[in-house]
Structure 1
Amino acid sequence: MNAWSLLFIALLLAYVIYGIVKTMRNKNLSPLHKLVWIIVIVSIPLLGTSAYLRSSFTPRRF
């Protein structure tokens, strides 16, 4: 394994962990919905995390 592969794996792992933490801290989701999202994130890491973060995004209002 070269350095680029290790960097990609580390970034992907950090992204997935970030998605799981954001899912667990979301107070608007029921425990069942949290479980389903975590299963999706773990099953399909890049797509699942991106889908959750995109669906839970709310723009800031200043």
Structure 2
Amino acid sequence: MTWYRRYGRWSLLLSWAPFVGDPLTIVAGTLREPLWSFVAIVAVAKVARYLAVAGATLNLI
């Protein structure tokens, strides 16, 4: 997985994206990404996604 080694853990910021995010998290687990960095980066991405969805739903954006 050359692309994962090149972009590393920061590619997990795309974990919010449909159809792309789930395979990224599986690859990160397979390649033994440290749990603390995995949880932190995926949490940031998911929270940002749901804040954007909530903002769009409430017409804040």
**TM, length-normalised to structure 2:** 0.36
